[in-house]
Amino acid sequence: MPILISYPTIDPVLIAIGPFPIRWYALAYIAGLVLGWAYARLLVRSDFLWRGTPHPDEACIDDLLVYAAIGVILGGRIGYVLFYNPWFFLAHPDEILAVWKGGMAFHGGVVGTAVAIYILARRRGVSVLSLGDVCCAVAPIGLFLGRIANFIKPELWGRPTDVAWAMVFPGAGPLPRHPSQLYEASLEGVALFIALYVAIRLGALQRPGLVVGLFAAAYGVARITCEFFREPDPQLGFLFGGATMGMLLSLPLIAVGLFFIFRASRRVAALA
């Protein structure tokens, strides 16, 4: 038997105010949006990062907080309903709005946020790509906090394993499993944030669309990597060839990311 690390059971409800529970899950979304907003304001204030490239101002970032929140929630929920559990929600349409029970799809959130960015950029007369670069630069903050919330709940646990750091998750049966939520928090959150931060310091914001491309491609690779350790959603299981829905949805994200990287590189070369 492997030496197991005890799962640190944490009440998913931080505090209850009367009949209203305040959950870690909701706080992760709120904290991700607020911290991301603060970092985004710092990025657009730092003119040396842009070197004359037209970019959004702080007032635009203030609006982005609201637009992104709506895009993430609507897109994430619609994506989960359509891709991960359509038959359940077809039979229980009243559950579609019950987001406090969990069930958000990152890839749907990406689409929802992209639509929100496009609408805001057109209304404010700023570059869609530059606004998208700022949003993608701060996204790993929310991803990190969201995966930590998955761990606390707990949900989206890993596949059975005998590694020394395996855990037995409540509700997942007696088998020790990979703490895949922490793998995702590390790769999709910490590692991706650092990689994008370095790219920005090296001038990525001066090439509109480059940060968008780097984020999309790197996230896709990180997600596919983590999917090898994560238990697939029970209502879907493994798809053809042992692939999971998360893997399949990440492939077009990588393709889109490579397209934006190539496009940004060609545009800079043409201007040089």
Return binding residues. 147
Q: How many other C-beta atoms are found inside a 10 Å radius of the C-beta of residue 193?
A: 18
Residue whose C-alpha is closest to residue 32's, from 65, 79, 78, 74 = 65
Distances in whole angstroms, Cα of residue 14 to Cα of each of 22, 29, 157: 6, 14, 21
Residue whose C-alpha is closest to residue 69's, from 21, 103, 107, 37 = 37
Task: Give the tokens for residue 68.
Answer: 């992104």
Task: Give the tokens for residue 34.
Answer: 């607020």
Task: Report the alpha-carbon distance of residue 6 to residue 164 in Å, rounded.
Answer: 11
Judging by beta carbons within 10 Å of its beta carbon (0-12, 13-18, 19+), is residue 194 exposed, middle or buried?
exposed
